[in-house]
Amino acid sequence: MKLTVKYDVEAPLAFVFGQLVDFGGWERAAMRRGADVIRSDKLREVGPGAMWHANFRYRAKDRAVTIRLDNLTPQTAMGLTAISKVVDGVIGMDLLDLGATRTRFTVRLDVRPKTLAARIYVQSLRLARARVERSFAQRIAQFTAEIEHRYRAAKAAGQ
């Protein structure tokens, strides 16, 4: 199942990209939501090949996922792969500079089931595609609103 969402963010490209690559912030956010996150690579800096292993509870079951940073193009794009026992997901994020304080943020998600149960679940999501797309778009809209809020706060603190 493939989903794509585009939003224009009222913040400069460099600021938005900085928010995307704040991997420590992502780790802390996941831990605040109850996930156990462990960095599982041996790289000194975060770059392609960086990996995290996360354990969390979803739909009354314990889940485990490995997240790998596949590509990181400064100020332009980031690609991640999420690998679990039942599904794999590929996440692509692209940024496009629309002006001094405006950035287009595009998120692509491709979920691929590995088991029969996962195929049935993904098929049910396809049947409810409008609801799934709306929910995905709302979550990305919340994230972009958080980025805009952080930018305004940083701008106000700098003045």
Domains present along the chain, CATH in parentheses: 2-158 (3.30.530.20)
Give the per-residue pLDDT at 79: 95
pTM of the model: 0.85
Asked whether the CA dihedral 44, 151, 34, 119 is positive or negative, the reply is negative
Tens-place pLDDT, residues 94-143: 999 998 899 999 999 999 999 998 999 899 988 999 999 999 999 999 99
